[in-house]
Amino acid sequence: MVTIDLIEDAATLIRPYAVRTPLLPAPWSGLWLKPENLQPIGAFKIRGAVTAIARLDPARRAGGVLAHSSGNHAQAVAYAARAFGTRAHIVIPDNAPHRKVQATRDLGATVELVPIEQRFSRPAELATLTGKPMIPPFDHPDVISGQGTVGLEIAQDLPDVDVVLVPVSGGGLISGVAAAITALAPHAKVIGVEPELAGDAAESFRAGRRIPWTPAQTARTMADGLRTFTVGELPWAHIRAQVHDIITVTEDEIADATRRLILQARLVAEPSGAVSTAAFLHHRDQLPAGRTVAVVSGGNIDPAVLRRLLEQA
């Protein structure tokens, strides 16, 4: 389990590279927004990627790093690798948005597109062939402790927070946030939110064991950053011990929250980053009462999706 000491150390490591995002009062009473869309690569993933690469032995880091991602972690690893003077080879599923793929290439990484079924197997092959260190998107203590700095900042800025809503995919973000909140604001409840069409974590939480979904199932959601089809082993340990609940939101609710964040909160969020706000707007009856923070995890929205959502406004 990741400790608060590891998270506080990560906060020091990421300080030169990541934005310490503020808590913004939302237009909707009782809600604060944690706008991770303001990060240099547009998502919280920079925190975990920088932490993991910074903690590598310098000689090993110099030989390059590997990663796999649906898009935001890819950009984060590419950004961090460039900052530390090394190269990144990143495997991305071929259903990822073109904008995220191109942004990763623009940051200097080598991108290898694969069928979604090879998202995990191909990186494992590359690690065996090259011996380069893997920077995983979620299932690693360094990555989790980096993402936990989101929770650290929430607890510092709003010590009397009651509820923290966090998007869930592989579980790196929610496990890090839960570790920090448990240590610093133990009265608060951390609640995961994911799309109904990619609800493997919610089903797993109800069953008390990890239940993977198929790539075809999770690919249905517009929230492309939340299409991972199972939570990681280490995130699952945190979720079981430190997360109060995981709920799901519909595609219409995600679309509505994305539009309202743009038009009312003046924050550009991608659908993956808007699910936590969707839970507050549409499922308040399922949430504990009190001061609530919704983590807006990213803002790398596909232009075609943005156009379609705004046309429906």
As annotated, the active-site residues are 45, 297
**Strand, helix or coil for residue 251:** helix
**Strand, helix or coil for residue 66:** strand
* Residue ranges in the chain assigned as alpha helix (H): 4-14, 45-54, 58-61, 72-83, 98-106, 121-130, 141-157, 172-184, 200-207, 215-218, 233-242, 251-263, 271-282, 303-311
- How many angstroms separate the CA atoms of 24 and 264, rounded? 13
Question: What is the arrangement of strands in the sheet containing 292-296, beginning at the earlier edge strand?
Answer: 24-25, 31-35, 292-296, 163-167, 189-195, 245-249
The dihedral sign for the CA sequence 215, 217, 219, 225: negative
User: What tokens were used for 238?
Assistant: 């945190």
Contact 105, 111 (CB under 8 A): yes
Contact 23, 33 (CB under 8 A): yes
- Helices 72-83 and 45-54 cross at an angle (nearest 10°) of 40
- How many angstroms separate the CA atoms of 138 and 147, rounded? 9
Nearest CA-CA partner of 107 in 148, 157, 46: 46
- Helices 172-184 and 141-157 cross at an angle (nearest 10°) of 50
The CB density around residue 190, as the number of other CB atoms within 10 Å, is: 28
